[in-house]
């Protein structure tokens, strides 16, 4: 039983991960930025810690207080922020040094990164391949150009943190709101009765994919194996986790059909926008092709994913779960 603080426990992966931690009987604290999700967390046996990573008035933020007050063993970070080193790693290192000075074990830390760090390519790659380096075969998409540096800082913190990086591929399943980018416009067109769809995607793209339960179980495996795989200089605690490598065109076609588009109907994949707006950069990243095996996560973490054979194959389930989440989000936004 480990005492875990989840930073971003109300988010898509962070919430599912927190539920998986509870199923394995770990004690879970979770940060949320306001009280709207407080009851959701409590009803899932997760203790809420309310507040931003950075306190507004330079006082110690609630999450740091929580680590000290509740004797947290491992912190798992789901924030997509660029300044992880300054906002999260350095404060954690300070707390961990205080513990080390008392002869206590280092704090554990797991950073939820992402597989886009590999950049786009079809050739087999692995978590041992360099990312964001001059020697890397491909560079990460613009929207996460900063992430390989954060990963490096996490790995370099081993003297004071037992730290690891887990890199899920593109996550699907449940409400999966990142998929709104493609699914929402397709759904709207199908609702209007369109007989032809135009989609801003690269028909040759084949992203790596993983179900949210498998991403969550990989992170739980990392929590449970952390002391074995991290905390020493001679280790490389970075783990790719993915379960399929699928054509985005086929995934989107299967989605369209599941929400009512005619089987075999015309879908024109017109390529990815090349601009620098957030939406353009997100489209570019979404079309990152990644072919990685996750062998190290399976052998070193003992991770055993359960949701193969993949997204397109299970679209009769996933289109409905996405739609339910999407309609709920729309209702709340009104």
Is 274 exposed, middle or buried (CB count within 10 Å of its CB: 0-12, 13-18, 19+)? exposed
Q: Starting from the edge strand earliest in sequence, which strands make up the sheet with 27-32, in order?
A: 47-50, 27-32, 3-7, 74-77, 107-112, 161-168, 238-241
Q: 49: cis peptide before it, omega within 30°?
A: no
Considering the rule CB under 6 A, would residue 305 count as an interface residue with ligand NAP?
A: no
Restricted to residues 40-69, the positions that interact with ligand NAP (CB under 6 A) are 52-53
Binding mask 129-168 for ligand NAP (x = CB under 6 A): ---------------------------------------x
Judge whether 19 and 26 are in contact, CB under 8 Å: no
Tokens of 263: 């089987």
Nearest residue to ligand NAP, scored by beta-carbon proximity: 11
For position 13 contacting ligand NAP by CB under 6 A, the verdict is yes
Cβ nearer to ligand NAP, comparing 114 with 305: 114
- Binding ligand NAP by CB under 6 A: which of 2, 4, 5, 12? 12
Q: Distance (Å, rounded) from C-alpha 247 to C-alpha 195?
A: 22
> Which residues within the stretch 185-244 sit at the binding site for ligand NAP (CB under 6 A)?
none
Residues 69-98, interacting with ligand NAP (CB under 6 A): 78-81
Cα(94)–Cα(161) distance, rounded to whole angstroms?
10
Residue from 2, 75, 112, 290 touching ligand NAP (CB under 6 A): that is 112
Binding map of ligand NAP across residues 248-287, x = CB under 6 A, - = no contact = ----------------------------------------
Q: Which of 326, 173, 183 is nearest to 243 (CA)?
A: 173
Q: Which is nearer to ligand NAP, 78 or 318 (CB)?
A: 78
| Residue with the two structure tokens 């416009």 | 185
Phi, psi of 125 (to 5 degrees): -135, 175
Question: What are the residues binding ligand NAP (CB under 6 A)?
Answer: 8, 10-14, 31-33, 52-53, 78-81, 112, 114, 168, 170-171, 178
């Amino acid at each position: 039983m480990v005492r875990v603080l989840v930073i971003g426990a109300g988010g898509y992966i962070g919430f599912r991960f927190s539920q998986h931690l509870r199923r394995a009987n770990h004690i879970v604290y979770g940060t949320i930025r306001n009280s709207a999700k407080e009851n959701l967390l409590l009803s899932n046996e997760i203790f809420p810690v309310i507040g931003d990573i950075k306190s507004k008035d330079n006082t110690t933020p609630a999450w740091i207080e929580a680590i000290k007050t509740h004797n947290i063993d491992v912190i798992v970070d789901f924030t997509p922020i660029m300044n992880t080193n300054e906002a999260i790693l350095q404060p954690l290192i300070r707390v961990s040094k205080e513990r080390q000075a008392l002869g206590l074990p280092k704090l554990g830390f797991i950073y939820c990164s992402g597989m886009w760090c590999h950049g786009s390519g079809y050739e087999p790659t692995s978590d041992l391949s360099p990312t964001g380096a001059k020697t890397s075969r491909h560079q990460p998409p613009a929207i996460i150009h900063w992430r390989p540096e954060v990963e490096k800082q996490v790995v370099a913190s081993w003297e004071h943190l037992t730290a690891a990086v887990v890199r899920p591929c593109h996550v699907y399943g449940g409400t999966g709101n990142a998929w709104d980018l493609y699914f929402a416009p397709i759904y709207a067109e199908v609702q209007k009765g369109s007989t032809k769809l135009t989609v801003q995607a690269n028909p040759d793209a084949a992203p790596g994919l993983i179900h949210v339960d498998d991403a969550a179980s990989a992170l739980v495996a990392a929590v449970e194996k952390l002391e074995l795989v991290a905390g020493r200089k001679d280790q490389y605690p970075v783990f790719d986790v993915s379960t399929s490598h699928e054509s985005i065109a086929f995934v989107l076609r299967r989605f369209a059909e599941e929400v009512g588009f005619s089987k075999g109907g015309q879908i024109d994949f017109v390529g990815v926008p090349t601009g620098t707006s957030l939406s353009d950069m997100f489209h570019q990243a979404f079309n990152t092709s990644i072919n990685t095996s996750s062998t190290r996560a399976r052998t070193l973490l003992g991770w055993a994913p359960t949701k193969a054979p993949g997204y397109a194959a299970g679209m009769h389930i996933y289109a409905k779960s996405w739609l339910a989440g999407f309609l709920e989000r729309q209702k709340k936004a009104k």
